Structure 1
Amino acid sequence: MLRALLLMTSMLVNPVSHGFADTFADPTVIHGQDGYWYAYGTSDPLKSGEGTAHRIPIGRSSNLTDWTYVGDALTGTAAPYVAPGASYWAPDVRYLDGRYVMYYGVTDTTTSTDTNDFAIGVATSPTPAGPWTQQSEPVVAPRPGGSGGWLNTIDPAELTAADGSRYLYFGSYYGGISVVPLSADGLHPAGSATQVALDNKYEGAYVVRHDAYYYLFASSSNCCAGPATGYAVSVGRSASPLGPFTDANGMSMLASRTGGTPVLTQNGNKWVGTGHNGMVTDLSGQDYLVYHGIDRNNPYLDAAYGINRRPMLVDRLDWIGGWPTVRAGAGASDTPQAAPVTAGSQNFSTAPGWLPRGWKTVDGYATGSGTVRRQSGAGDVRVEADLRVPADSALGLTAGPATVTIDRRAGRLIATSGSRRAWAALPSGLDFGTWHNLAVSIRGNQLTAEVTEARQSGPIVAVSLKVMPGTTAGFTGRGDVDNFSVQRLYRPVTGAVAAPRLGRVTWSDDFSGPALKAGWTWVRQDDAVTIAGGTLNWPVEAGDLSGTANTAGVLTRTAPRGDYTVETKVTLDVGVDDVRNYQQAGLVAYAGDDDFARLDTVAIWNTRQIEFGREFPYAGQLAYGGVTVGTPAVTTWLRLVHTLDPRTGEHHFRSESSTDGRTWTLGGTWTFPAGTTPKIGLDAHGGATPAVTARFDYVRIHQP
């Protein structure tokens, strides 16, 4: 009843796929020419107990919050290269020059007898709901791995760049993320692939253009570990679609110490494993991240350790200081939020009385010539429409005294206001005789106009101009108009949520004496540990904590009551690029050998990462997963920020990392149940070859 009342009052309540699907993983959303939003997900059963996977299920919504099931995309005969029993993963759907194009991962092909010879398939349709026609060849064929097997050729995402060139991003942990140029129709490769993100770190690419940069969103860690899933989204940016992509600290996403600025990570509420995103823009111009998450209290579709239940979530995406972040850094929502602006678009399914002579409706759109003006009201405004412009014509939008037209005769996007004029060349490779979206935003006296394909990938071409405000909006020129909308422009969020308060130092051990301070206790004491030179020196052990072996030492002390932050500075030189699985050292919250959370700088294959891992018993087994936190250096500062949830009594541990001790990256949160008493401490384990020593400068506890 509460959900129904909230939906009636236009609130956004996650998971938005609740009405038709218990799970809807790897979602992507597009605004169709019919005025509806369409969502596409990985092939899984939609409901508990259903048992049969859908072949890319499709959802439809009029408001981005209420969704219904409309069918499966790939219902016909499989393409000849698809092996029997193959699954279809992580679709990406685009509107390219008059038709819908769907890219998707194919898990098994006829290339070999191996069941993991992945490929990227492609299908086309005249409408977003189908029928979809599979192309006979993959757009990216299976790729042999250098060390055997087949590279992870999955998770596709298309981008139309500012010059009209088309690209396809794809890949996963084995092989990394790559990008390949596409033919003009988007159906064939048109060159060789370029790797843009390191293997063994990222998957689930999604690229958008925002202002002067291309932003590569990618997900890291395990997607599917049930209640221990630590999937999260990070981003890097580049001036070129081909990279290199670097994060806010200038770290490359191709480096062994891999860069990536956090966009979305779990925050301690019910959602874990928040990742594999798409993006959509509402009618006010506000961006939203579309992604999946796992309810840690209900993590599986049917039986434990079976199919992960990953419903679709939608949350506001803010751009702060040139970098995207979900809800200003607050992360996934599990309480009602303001809904996207979706009402008020005119799709001309019926002829409105305000269309003047020279314009008429036909087949659900307006066609004609001349100028149409409507009242927009005072203040900041966004005017948008889908436009189809004949070859010898110009067609555009008006906003106050300004006019912005797609002028195919001149080959330009032209903005004018009085004597002021700005223009940009239209990319020659695109067909503006098919539908393209033009959005004109005026904030204060600044006009920005952007042409996109169905609001996806950011602007293909854009102009800006100083203007005077006005109170009318409309369209002008000759051609076809659909989905015309006039809305109050969204108000951007310009400041991130406050970082956790550090407080004063209430306890510390600077390892300046010959022995540990009182209060430390060992779990499996390591006699090789020494204190000398102002550091605690711990040769990395061959043991581990994860799993059932529990052979590694842990140095612990009782945690204070209430809220606190524990911090350490650790030097661990495990080199770069080579494989040192899984040498690591850092902080640990420890309630037992099979119930802990460790924040370590760690070597994982060829990468060097900071991982906040969690292990605990679940359904008769041990669940383990990790969330990545920033980028490590030889010397890295680590923090665990502990808070008690006043509603549930749960312990929340939020992770932070730094490479200079001053600027901190805020990471994900793991929880411990109410009634537990986790200690805090240090660890250094995961492999003794080659020999390396972790050196801890101090451990400090801060309290408010």
Structure 2
Amino acid sequence: MRIAAVASLVLSLLSGPSSSYANPVSADFADTFADPAVIRGLDGYWYSYGTSDPLREGEGRHHRLPIARSSDLVEWTYVGDAFGEDNLPPYAAPGSLLWAPEVRYLDGRYVMYFTVTNTASTPHPWDFSIGVATAPSPTGPWTHQAAPVVPPRPAGDSYWNTIDPAQFTDADGRKYLYFGGFFGGLWVTELTPDGLRTVGQPTQVAIDNKSEGAYVVRRDGFYYLLASSANCCAGPTTGYSVLAGRATSPRGPFVDREGQPLLASRAGGTPVLDQNGNRWIGTGHHSQLTDLSGQDWMLYHAIDRADPFLDEPYGINERPMLLDRLDWIDGWPVVRAGAGPSERPEQAPVTRGSVDERFTGDLSGWRGTDGWTVQDGYVRHGTGNGTAATLISRRGIGGDLRAETDLRLTGRSGGLRIGGATVLVSGNELVVTAGGARRTAALPGGAATWRNLAVTVKGRTISAQVGSADRLGDPRATVRLDSPVPLSGTFGLVAEGQADFDNVSVARLSTPVTRPAPVPRPGTLLDADEFDGTGRGWQWVREDTSARVTGGVLRWPVQGADLVGTANAASVLLRTPPEGDYIVETKVTLDLGEDTVRNYQQAGLVAYVSDDDFARLCQVAIWNTRQVEYGRELPFAGRLSYGGNIAGPPAKTTWLRLAHRVDPANGEHEFRAGSSRDGKTWTWAGVWTFPKDTAPRIGLVAHGGAQPAVDAEFDYVRVYRSK
């Protein structure tokens, strides 16, 4: 007990929370680093890959898929571009851009997927395809394949958005590639074992006009599809956000937390990341990782609303790289428990442990070194003659912890010893033994390449998983065992026959966040119009005489007009809100049908300063989808800028809320959007802000298109004090 207690104290001191960071983490090397992908290399460094933009303001030169490196996920250094200026794939048309890289370690080499904006074999200027290249290291040299892994896909006289690749390997070893965007939706196709060609026919997994930038992980028996929604690049009104669905198969069907399919016309999607009213807007196109403590993190890009463009206004959107904690609450991923992007110092990821060995020196920190030799950055046991041995760390261990190693086998078995338990990769099995207890799981082939073995100890429970050495959330095998013997004391490497080990660590296990961040809640009713003929206090901007109160509802024919742009022909029905923090709510029925194009009929709430300065929350028809869009228009740099953020899926009858808060630090008016399909379960989305010297009024709109004729029916407007 004494040894375990001392070991636990040492572990806490050495791997506990002791450092912090502040966004954006790309500031040291880039002003913009969009669409960041991330992996951990076999050298122990983290690598991130960005879309082909200039890195700095005033630079004026596009970097062709720039690469950055970090030892701690916080301080990053630019290390070069994946490709030179003239190094395009052989099938790319001259002048093509390369976007949205995705990199994985597959069967002994690094494979990069990326978007090619213009393919030489077709005449269309935006005939996107997915390219692929391979390399022996995270920084290259990268070798293009002769043909795209996914060629352009015709859509009438145009082409579907064949963009934003995301690779995933399932537990059975099958490889998949997700791709697609707003025009055409999201798709998944199986890949050949080498990951360079497709197999069979692709399957659509999310409806078009809703999302792009897919990313897939497997957790607790579910496949989670996370994707970015709304617009990536609208400068100061960019409303990009990340939504999720999950399925029991990598091909779907994916549904959100309320069971709404991502393929439905009223498309589902559970919020993962949204702008929260601080400096960051347009939060999205992400990748994910797990630190040494077992905590998940998200790397993504965002836009500083005070500095939205790289150089001149309405040029390249400036999208630096951000890092934030990714929590899992009630089975769903959410950034910072729902608090959204951070702008103040946060606890940094755990990237070094009490045991932290990269084998760049001798074995002075270990016992039982006979038969073990340090090679070029890793340690090797044996020569393949079947001899078994254990290399024991001189540091004891105890308490809840996470241990891991990169492992490559040519002998019979190799793994970790943790107290009285042994975790081995043996042939095609993952085997955990402790006392007389034993558990196994089948493991697909690939023992001769590097794989990652991660072991978690929580009390007397030991959990082990084997995945790719890039450590990106696609475990091949998982075993859990309640140990009859203590899991404290010694820690070591175990091998029978030849085995190589690298990046060995032990860190204190992270404590998961299980309580969601607070959301707006209505308190005392301050004001209401139940549309029973007694309501007062409304004012029109361009009165619509066809709107009428009858039968306890406000019936308002959807107008063939709009507020977006300079026409400003649509009517707005307004009232003055109370002082301070409040929530305005309405219930609106709008029969927009399904799966047909009815652009852009909508109805809902508005926070309004002027015709050119407003935020509207409406259920709306966007081509064949029905969405709850939270749009913002404002004047910027001599123009009007408009962009949208997406809330929860609508129903024929949808409840909408705008929660108003005055930021005590700067006096800004913050309006957060919420929606519900039943008036009980609410989905909260992003925040749009208004300057402190404005006085936004609240109200209703029903506009966007008069054909086919449809009435918006508002049951009430209620204003509550916020709790």
TM-score range, shorter chain: over 0.9
CA shift digits 1:430-474 (9 cap, x unpaired): 412100000000112221111111211331211111124313222
Match of 2:309 in 1: 300
Within 5 Å, which residues of 2 pair with 1:71-90? 71-75=80-84, 77-90=87-100
SS at match of 1:18: coil
Deviating more after overlay: 671-680 vs 465-474: 465-474
TM superposition shift of 1:194:
0.7
Query: Among residues 391, 402, 411, which one is paired with 1:382 in the alignment?
Result: 402
User: Is 1:436 matched up with 2:446?
Assistant: no
User: Is 1:423 matched up with 2:461?
Assistant: no
Using the alignment, how far apart are the partners of 2:170 and 2:193 within structure 1? 12
Within 5 Å, which residues of 2 pair with 1:464-479? 464-467=480-483, 468-478=486-496, 479=499
Task: Normalising by structure 2, report the TM-score.
Answer: 0.94
User: Is 1:457 matched up with 2:473?
Assistant: yes
User: Is 1:143 matched up with 2:162?
Assistant: no
CA shift digits 1:393-414 (9 cap, x unpaired): 1111122211111101xx2111
User: Is 1:158 matched up with 2:158?
Assistant: no
User: Is 1:493 matched up with 2:513?
Assistant: yes
Unaligned runs of 5+ in 2: 1-16, 383-388
Deviating more after overlay: 472-481 vs 681-690: 472-481
Supply the AA of the counterpart residue of 1:573: D
Query: Among residues 232, 235, 240, which one is paired with 1:226 in the alignment?
Result: 235
Supply the AA of the counterpart residue of 1:115: P
Using the alignment, how far apart are the partners of 1:473 and 1:263 within structure 2? 37
Using the alignment, how far apart are the partners of 2:442 and 2:396 within structure 1? 29
Contact 1:383 / 1:473 at 8 angstroms: preserved in 2? Answer: no
User: Is 1:52 matched up with 2:65?
Assistant: no
Match of 2:584 in 1: 566
TM superposition shift of 1:79:
2.1
Query: Among residues 668, 686, 700, which one is paired with 1:650 in the alignment?
Result: 668
Match of 1:445 in 2: 460
Within 5 Å, which residues of 2 pair with 1:401-420? 401-408=420-427, 411-420=428-437
Contact 1:111 / 1:142 at 8 angstroms: preserved in 2? Answer: no
Contact 2:352 / 2:507 at 8 angstroms: preserved in 1? Answer: no
Contact 2:529 / 2:536 at 8 angstroms: preserved in 1? Answer: no
Query: Among residues 631, 636, 641, which one is paired with 1:618 in the alignment?
Result: 636
User: Is 1:668 matched up with 2:686?
Assistant: yes
SS at match of 2:591: coil
Using the alignment, how far apart are the partners of 1:129 and 1:643 within structure 2? 46
Match of 2:361 in 1: 350
CA shift digits 1:46-81 (9 cap, x unpaired): 000111100000000010000000000012632210
Unaligned runs of 5+ in 1: 1-7
Using the alignment, how far apart are the partners of 2:276 and 2:318 within structure 1? 19
Using the alignment, how far apart are the partners of 1:455 and 1:401 within structure 2? 26
Using the alignment, how far apart are the partners of 2:555 and 2:55 within structure 1? 52
Match of 1:503 in 2: 523
Contact 1:442 / 1:448 at 8 angstroms: preserved in 2? Answer: yes
CA shift digits 1:571-597 (9 cap, x unpaired): 011000000000000000000000000
Question: What's the % identity of the aligned pairs?
Answer: 58
Contact 1:556 / 1:679 at 8 angstroms: preserved in 2? Answer: yes
Contact 1:156 / 1:168 at 8 angstroms: preserved in 2? Answer: yes
Using the alignment, how far apart are the partners of 2:490 and 2:157 within structure 1? 63
Using the alignment, how far apart are the partners of 2:102 and 2:257 within structure 1? 27
TM superposition shift of 1:9:
6.7
Match of 1:5 in 2: none
CA shift digits 1:164-205 (9 cap, x unpaired): 000000010111110110010101111211110101111000
CA shift digits 1:526-561 (9 cap, x unpaired): 111111111110110101011111111100001111
Task: Normalising by structure 1, report the TM-score.
Answer: 0.97
Match of 1:314 in 2: 323
Using the alignment, how far apart are the partners of 2:440 and 2:596 within structure 1? 50
Contact 1:160 / 1:457 at 8 angstroms: preserved in 2? Answer: no
Match of 1:4 in 2: none
Supply the AA of the counterpart residue of 2:620: V
SS at match of 2:199: coil
Query: Among residues 641, 655, 658, which one is paired with 1:637 in the alignment?
Result: 655
Using the alignment, how far apart are the partners of 2:309 and 2:88 within structure 1? 29
Within 5 Å, which residues of 2 pair with 1:485-564? 485-513=505-533, 517-564=535-582
Supply the AA of the counterpart residue of 2:458: R
Contact 1:109 / 1:118 at 8 angstroms: preserved in 2? Answer: yes
Contact 2:548 / 2:555 at 8 angstroms: preserved in 1? Answer: yes
SS at match of 2:402: strand
Tell me the C-alpha RMSD between the 2 structures.
1.1
Contact 2:289 / 2:473 at 8 angstroms: preserved in 1? Answer: no
Contact 2:397 / 2:491 at 8 angstroms: preserved in 1? Answer: no
User: Is 1:174 matched up with 2:192?
Assistant: no
CA shift digits 1:31-51 (9 cap, x unpaired): 000010000000000000111
